[in-house]
C-alpha cells in the first residue's frame, strides 16, 4: 500500500503538478519573446502562426520529454528516490521499447 501511495504522489506531484507550473512559466516567456510586440497573432499563417508552432510542438515536446525524463526516472528508481511500479500494475510492452530510447521517444 505504501508503494502505491508513494508512486501516486511521485506521478501526480513530482511529475505532474510541478512540471505543469514550470512549463506554464517557460511557455509564457517564450510566447512573450516570440509574439510580445505583435498587436495580433495569426492562427493559421504557415510561417508565423500559432497553429504551425503547435504542430511542431506536438512532435518535438514528447520526443524531448521522453529523451530527458526516461534516464532521470530510471536513475531515481535505481537509487530508491522514486518508487518502482509494482509488478501487478505493470503493463506488457514489446521488448523493443525497453532498450531503444530514441525509438520509444519518436512513437
Task: Please state the separation of Cα 32 from the chain's center in Å.
Answer: 22
All structural domains of the chain with their residue ranges: 2-106
Stated pTM of the model: 0.56
Beta-carbon contacts of residue 35 (< 8 Å; ≥ 6 apart): 41
81-90 pLDDT, tens digit each:
888 877 777 6
Are the C-beta atoms of residues 105 and 62 closer than 8 Å to each other?
yes
What is the structure's pLDDT at 56?
76
The runs of H, that is alpha helices, within the chain are 2-9, 18-35, 50-79, 96-99, 101-106
65-75 pLDDT, tens digit each:
888 888 888 89
Report d(CA 104, CA 62) in Å as an integer: 10
Q: Is the pLDDT at 1 greater than 50, yes or no? A: no
Amino acid at each position: 500500500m505504501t508503494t502505491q501511495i508513494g508512486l501516486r504522489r511521485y506521478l501526480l506531484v513530482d511529475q505532474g503538478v510541478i512540471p505543469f507550473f514550470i512549463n506554464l512559466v517557460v511557455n509564457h516567456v517564450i510566447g512573450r519573446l516570440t509574439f510580445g510586440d505583435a498587436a495580433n497573432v495569426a492562427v493559421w499563417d504557415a510561417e508565423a502562426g500559432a497553429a504551425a508552432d503547435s504542430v511542431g510542438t506536438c512532435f518535438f515536446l514528447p520526443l524531448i520529454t521522453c529523451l530527458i525524463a526516461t534516464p532521470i526516472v530510471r536513475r531515481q528508481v535505481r537509487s530508491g528516490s522514486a518508487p518502482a511500479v509494482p509488478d501487478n500494475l505493470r503493463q506488457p510492452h514489446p521488448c523493443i521499447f525497453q532498450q531503444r530510447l530514441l525509438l520509444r521517444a519518436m512513437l
